[in-house]
């Protein structure tokens, strides 16, 4: 079973992908066009030209997962158009995208924040 965690690196490709491509061809796109290793555990996310579907490629250590979600009606409300937008996508944003939502407008809280312990004063004697 495939599960996405907040620590997994995500990469949304800005340019649409020809959805006739399979695992080997998409892996080649990752290596040649994106200059990234498809065996790295990065979650590679692509959309088609009319943004009516999403393909996800990920290597889990034993093999590749290639997932396709074709929307039964409509298309994506948002897809990154700049590298900066694509780099800011979190795992929760992907969940919103997969449900045809708009992650930028969702106004979700931070996934985690660093907790700094306070020093406790010893009780007075």
This prediction has a pTM of 0.78
Calpha distance 87→13 (Å, rounded): 10
Most confident of 33-37, 92-96, 100-104, 117-121: 33-37
The pLDDT of residue 6? 77
For range 32-51, the mean pLDDT: 93
Q: What backbone phi and psi angles, to 5 degrees, belong to 66?
A: -125, 110
Q: What backbone phi and psi angles, to 5 degrees, belong to 47?
A: -125, 160
**45-91 pLDDT per residue, tens:** 999 999 999 999 999 989 999 999 999 888 888 888 888 888 778 88
Would the CA dihedral through 69, 71, 75, 76 be positive or negative? negative
Q: Strands 43-47 and 10-12: what pairing?
A: parallel
The pLDDT of residue 62? 92
For range 18-27, the mean pLDDT: 96
pLDDT band for position 105 (cuts 50, 70, 90): low
């Amino acid at each position: 079973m495939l599960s996405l965690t907040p620590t997994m690196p995500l990469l949304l490709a800005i340019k649409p992908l020809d959805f006739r491509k399979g695992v080997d061809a998409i892996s080649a796109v990752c290596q040649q066009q994106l200059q990234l290793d498809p065996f790295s555990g990065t979650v590679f996310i692509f959309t088609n030209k009319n943004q009516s579907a999403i393909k996800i490629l990920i290597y889990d250590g034993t093999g590749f997962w290639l997932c396709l979600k074709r929307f039964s009606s409509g298309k994506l409300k948002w897809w990154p158009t700049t590298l900066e937008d694509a780099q800011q996508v979190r795992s929760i944003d992907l969940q919103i995208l997969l449900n045809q939502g708009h992650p930028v407008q969702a106004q979700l809280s931070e996934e985690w924040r660093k907790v700094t312990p306070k020093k406790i004063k010893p009780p007075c004697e």
